[in-house]
Structure 1
Amino acid sequence: MSFPFEMWQEIIQKIPSSDKRALWSLSLVSRAFHSTVLPLLYFDVQITGREKQERFYEWILSNEPSSPASYVREYTIIINRNDIPCGKPYTHNSAALARMQHLRKLTLASKLGMPKNLSTGVILHSEDPSWSLPELREFEWDDYGVESDILHFLSRCPELESLELPEWEGTPVPTDLLPKLRRISGDCSTVLAFLPGRPIEELAFSTGGGAKNLSKYLKSNPVVAARIQTLSFAKSYPLSEFLKQIASTLPHLKEFRMALAQFDEMITEVATLRRLEKLVFLDYNGNRKVAKEARMLWSVRLISLYSPTPLGRGSTEPCLELWYSKEKILSQWRRGGDGTRLELVQ
Structure 2
Amino acid sequence: MDAIRWQGDSLALLDQTKLPVEEVWEDYTDYRKVADAIRRLVVRGAPAIGIAAAYAVCLAAMELQCQDTAQFRAGMARAAKVLATSRPTAVNLFWALDRMTLALSAGGGGPEAIPALVREAEAIHREDISMNRKIGKYGAELVPEGARILTHCNAGAIATGGFGTALGVVRAAHAAGGVEMVYCDETRPLLQGARLTAWELMRDGIPATLITDSMAASLMAQGKIDIVFLGCDRMARNGDFANKIGTYGVAVLAAYHGIPFYTVLPSSTIDMSIPDGKHIVIEERDPAEVTHFAGVQTAPEGIRVCNPAFDVTPHKLLTGIVTEKGVIHPPFGERLLELFG
TM-score (norm 1): 0.26
